[in-house]
Structure 1
Amino acid sequence: MAKVTAQDLGQEPIGKLLVKQAVPASIGILVMSLNILIDTIFVGNWIGANAIAAINVVLPVSFFIAALGMAIGVGGSSIISRALGAGNTPKALRTFGNQLTLTFLFTITFAVFGLIYVDTLIPAFGGKGNIFAPAKIYYEIILYGVPILGFVMMGNNVIRAEGKPKFAMYAMMIPSVGNLLFDYIFINILDWGMAGAAWATTGSYIVSFIYILWFFLSKNSELKIDFSHFALHKEIVSEIGSLGFVTLARQAVVSVTFLLVNNALFNYGEETSITAYAIVGRMMMFVLFPVFGITQGFIPIAGYNYGAEQFARVKEVIYTAIKYATILGTIVFLGLMVFPEVITKWFTDDADVIRITPNNMRLAFAAVPILAVQLVGAAYFQAVGKAIPALILTLTRQAIFFIPLLFILPIFYGELGIWIAFPISDVLSTIVTYYFLKREVKLKLETA
């Protein structure tokens, strides 16, 4: 695959450029998603169905702390892309240094907090009954590695902002491959059970961190910082915070959603329904990898060209990204509608789980073909530095629509109401995002 530099983001044809950016991002997300998928299959077959539920309970906490690194990475990367597009390299360097400082301070603080309140947090996130004991084992070990994951997520976004998608892809692939290898050793050979699954994940974070550190110290990176760049600057921190808060809010809502759905499903179906939700959630990460990859590839192109005031290219990349992502999302949708029983049997041979999961999977993914508009639309506002609309549109899907529906629909439809909340919220958030995106294109991009 041809090398992409920061300058290419403003020069190459949009279709070709989006492919160059999106393919490595998609491959990285695919490998990462395969890792999560196969890891869950290993855990389900080598440890048991309750182990799948236990990991699903722990995900919200570790996910949120790791999201701190992602938020700082995405917020700062938007600044870096626009700074490079405007030829302002000093600002890009200061931003990267501030990202490193912020990631260190926040991830360590929240990891310590999470370890102190372990016995409170696990039950709150649905880790009750037979799930509590394996969830606690997994949780405590995972949190040791979550700060490292925070640096990995932050660094990955900065690499992509430099126009180096292949290196960002490798940074996502390395922990995925490492985790599966460690899974086999720690769970299957050494028989460490849940502790083995947790140490496999933590070890994979460390390997990826070492790779990303090498990238920034090598000649591959254009961002060569010194100690002066680590000092926090109020203006940069404020801009990172306002843009990164969009990502953090989205990930925080994901964590809250896990908490609410786990508890709601426990009340209706106990451990079995939580296991079904864990399987559906893993498939959500896996099958949408091409859509998420296009969104990731879209962000630096939109940000760079917006900073360079090439608004016609920004408009073109919006429509191209939506078109590509919609086609791929439709293919994913068809596969899930046809083969949900086969997919469920990959994870477990538990008859109850196999009985209830396929129909719920169909419901949860019913609106996938239209999600491209929502994802690309929200990403556009973040890429160009418009934090408020980016935040609102990012939160529409889960916070504004899904969570209220989660409380309302089960009153009338029981457990079915939980599952139909997914597609209804997808449709409503897509409609809202389309309105704001269309308005932005008309008033800003076409007028300019």
Structure 2
Amino acid sequence: MEQKQKNDFSQGSVVGNIIRLAVPMTLAQLVNVLYNVVDRMYIGRIPENATLALTGLGLCLPIITMVIAFANLYGMGGAPLCSIARGRGEAEEAESIMGNSFTLMMLTGVALMVFCYLFKKPMLYLFGASDVTYPYANDYLTIYLLGTLFVMTGLGMNSFVNSQGFGRVGMLTVVLGAVANIILDPIFIFVLDMGVRGAAIATVISQMLSTVWILTFLTGSRAILRLRLSAMRLKLDRVRRIVTLGTAGFMMSVTNSLVQILCNATLQSTGGDLYVGVMTILNSVREVIQLPISGLTNSAQPVMGFNYGAEEYGRVKQGIRFLSVATIGYTVTAWGLVHLFPVFFIHLFNHEAQLVEAAVPAMRIYFFGFFMMALQMIGQSVFVALGKSRQAIFFSMLRKVIIVAPLTILLPMIPALGTNGVFLAEPVSNFIGGAACFLTMLHIVWRELTRREQLAGQV
């Protein structure tokens, strides 16, 4: 009972509730990013054919991204609905949403695993494999796919842990898998001399440990909402709501991958390998400095969703205010640091003089007006938290598919721009997409909250 009161987001400070979730969630994401970097460093140090092995792993990334996207579809779709139901005091419905999401993860995980095993060879060649690199990609993917259900469960169900207010438990889910992988990687890759297969085995074992941890928690007495067999029977309307709301996160994952492929292809044709390397560094820097924004916006969702369900509309507005001030303040500061000290950030990933020289102006273009990306993430986060799926889906598509993708192709055709056109597509999309998303959120959500707050005051 004490834990349930502690995780009642309608009580206490709204800002305090958000920060209490944000700190462990951001740390978990940081550990996950470090885990990905260290994983590639290990494979890049295989004594023989390290470059081919690393390339083989890279060829598998679109398939890995697809698995993660489906985990987000059900996790990010179900968790906000779960928070809203819990805020309304509908614990049974909240558990049913979580149970239905788990069933969808399992069914989709099996389907994905079978599909990828059947078509892995043509897919890998489609993603750029050659007869030389295919064996490495095949070795890794054949083993990795065995852990598909673990990826779906560990990533997807962690959203339901965080939505109940157990940020530390959610953090430990990620930390457990990441630390296990960092320890097991060198053992399987080097000590047992298994190469990329060893990396895949280490990954599957690590994902399994995370899954066991999270299922033990969600079926145990500490959880406010428990994962029960009785809640796993699918109901069409519930599935539709989960999938509809989760489509925003799903499309963001998929479109990010597609846009990256498009950027690399355009840069390859206009500037060659050097500028593909520059884009890799820009994406790596963005991934790191964007972590606090992701942690904050993701942490705010269960708090705002709970209060929206509990009809505490003033507290939802407090959450939006804090989110706006904190994220805009941070991104303005980050933009200033990147603009003033680009070489420092580039050197985190590479010291080659020619690449650094090309990356400095590209970084200043790419991160121009970085705070506008925060506006996109704020608006998107609020729409998802309050269950407004149509707006969430539209704005997730607007920036990447409708703005970035065409500009990435068209801007480099302008003679004066060339490769800079690819880097310019990002800030242009941030200004247009960010402003549109944030202003629409204020127009729709803020007015609705104010109206409901006034109606509640008249009762």
Distance (Å, rounded) in 1 between the aligned partners of 2:340 and 2:3: 39
State the 1:39 CA deviation: 2.8
Pick closer, same or farther for the CA change 1:136–1:332 going to 2, 3 Å: farther
Give the aligned residue type for 2:27: I
Pick closer, same or farther for the CA change 1:210–1:52 going to 2, 3 Å: same
* Residue of structure 1 in register with 2:448 after alignment: 444
Which secondary structure does the structure 2 equivalent of 1:447 belong to?
Answer: helix
CA deviation map 1:311-353 (0-9, x unaligned): 1111110110121122222343344335544444444566665
Root-mean-square deviation (Å): 2.7
* Residue of structure 2 in register with 1:374 after alignment: 376
* Residue of structure 1 in register with 2:209 after alignment: 207
Distance (Å, rounded) in 2 between the aligned partners of 1:30 and 1:355: 28
State the 1:301 CA deviation: 0.7
* Residue of structure 1 in register with 2:109 after alignment: 107
Aligned residues of 1:98 and 1:233 also touching (Cα < 8 A): yes
Pick closer, same or farther for the CA change 1:369–1:49 going to 2, 3 Å: farther
Distance (Å, rounded) in 1 between the aligned partners of 2:197 and 2:355: 24
Instruction: Report how many aligned residue pairs link the two structures.
Output: 447
State the 1:96 CA deviation: 1.4
Pick closer, same or farther for the CA change 1:174–1:389 going to 2, 3 Å: same
Aligned residues of 1:4 and 1:164 also touching (Cα < 8 A): no
* Residue of structure 1 in register with 2:403 after alignment: 401
Distance (Å, rounded) in 2 between the aligned partners of 1:221 and 1:278: 40
Distance (Å, rounded) in 1 between the aligned partners of 2:74 and 2:233: 15
Pick closer, same or farther for the CA change 1:326–1:36 going to 2, 3 Å: farther
Aligned residues of 1:41 and 1:347 also touching (Cα < 8 A): no
Pick closer, same or farther for the CA change 1:119–1:395 going to 2, 3 Å: same
* Residue of structure 1 in register with 2:231 after alignment: 229
Q: Mean alpha-carbon deviation: is it higher for 61-70 or for 349-358?
A: 349-358
State the 1:158 CA deviation: 0.4
Distance (Å, rounded) in 2 between the aligned partners of 1:52 and 1:58: 10
Which secondary structure does the structure 1 equivalent of 2:157 belong to?
Answer: helix
Pick closer, same or farther for the CA change 1:327–1:391 going to 2, 3 Å: same
State the 1:134 CA deviation: 4.2
* Residue of structure 1 in register with 2:21 after alignment: 21
Distance (Å, rounded) in 2 between the aligned partners of 1:362 and 1:55: 30
The correspondence of residues 203-282 of structure 1 with structure 2, limited to 5 A, is: 203-269=205-271, 271-282=273-284
* Residue of structure 2 in register with 1:290 after alignment: 292
Distance (Å, rounded) in 1 between the aligned partners of 2:260 and 2:141: 15
State the 1:436 CA deviation: 0.4
Identical-residue share of aligned pairs (%)? 25
Give the aligned residue type for 2:439: Y
* Residue of structure 2 in register with 1:169 after alignment: 171
* Residue of structure 1 in register with 2:437 after alignment: 433
Give the aligned residue type for 2:450: E
Pick closer, same or farther for the CA change 1:3–1:91 going to 2, 3 Å: closer
Rg bigger for which structure? 2
State the 1:241 CA deviation: 1.2
CA deviation map 1:107-127 (0-9, x unaligned): 221232223222332343344
TM-score, with length taken from structure 1: 0.90
Give the aligned residue type for 2:222: N
CA deviation map 1:252-275 (0-9, x unaligned): 212222332333334345555444
TM-score, with length taken from structure 2: 0.88
State the 1:245 CA deviation: 1.3
Give the aligned residue type for 2:320: I
Distance (Å, rounded) in 1 between the aligned partners of 2:322 and 2:232: 38
State the 1:208 CA deviation: 1.1
CA deviation map 1:227-271 (0-9, x unaligned): 222111111111111111111121121222233233333434555
Give the aligned residue type for 1:25: M
Distance (Å, rounded) in 1 between the aligned partners of 2:282 and 2:135: 23
Which secondary structure does the structure 2 equivalent of 1:9 belong to?
Answer: coil
Equivalent residue in structure 2 for 1:95, among 94, 97, 110:
97
Q: Mean alpha-carbon deviation: is it higher for 175-184 or for 240-249?
A: 175-184
CA deviation map 1:12-62 (0-9, x unaligned): 111211111211111111111222233334444557566555544432221
Give the aligned residue type for 2:33: S
Distance (Å, rounded) in 2 between the aligned partners of 1:339 and 1:192: 41
State the 1:67 CA deviation: 1.6
* Residue of structure 2 in register with 1:40 after alignment: 40
Distance (Å, rounded) in 2 between the aligned partners of 1:271 and 1:122: 21
Give the aligned residue type for 2:428: I
Q: Mean alpha-carbon deviation: is it higher for 190-199 or for 205-214?
A: 190-199
Give the aligned residue type for 1:433: C
Pick closer, same or farther for the CA change 1:330–1:138 going to 2, 3 Å: farther
Aligned residues of 2:219 and 2:228 also touching (Cα < 8 A): no
* Unaligned 5+ runs, structure 1: none
Pick closer, same or farther for the CA change 1:294–1:354 going to 2, 3 Å: same
Q: Mean alpha-carbon deviation: is it higher for 351-360 or for 63-72?
A: 351-360
Aligned residues of 2:378 and 2:438 also touching (Cα < 8 A): no
CA deviation map 1:149-170 (0-9, x unaligned): 1111111100011111111111
Give the aligned residue type for 2:40: T
Give the aligned residue type for 1:419: F
Equivalent residue in structure 1 for 2:122, among 104, 114, 120:
120
Which secondary structure does the structure 1 equivalent of 2:225 belong to?
Answer: coil
Distance (Å, rounded) in 2 between the aligned partners of 1:423 and 1:131: 35
Give the aligned residue type for 2:64: S
Give the aligned residue type for 2:24: P
State the 1:277 CA deviation: 3.2
Q: Mean alpha-carbon deviation: is it higher for 252-261 or for 184-193?
A: 184-193
Pick closer, same or farther for the CA change 1:252–1:302 going to 2, 3 Å: same
State the 1:77 CA deviation: 0.9
Distance (Å, rounded) in 2 between the aligned partners of 1:44 and 1:233: 47
Aligned residues of 1:86 and 1:307 also touching (Cα < 8 A): yes
Distance (Å, rounded) in 2 between the aligned partners of 1:445 and 1:346: 44
Aligned residues of 1:9 and 1:301 also touching (Cα < 8 A): yes
State the 1:193 CA deviation: 3.6
1:10 aligns with 2:14: no
Give the aligned residue type for 1:418: V
Pick closer, same or farther for the CA change 1:3–1:32 going to 2, 3 Å: farther
* Unaligned 5+ runs, structure 2: 453-459
Pick closer, same or farther for the CA change 1:436–1:61 going to 2, 3 Å: same
Equivalent residue in structure 1 for 2:157, among 150, 155, 158:
155
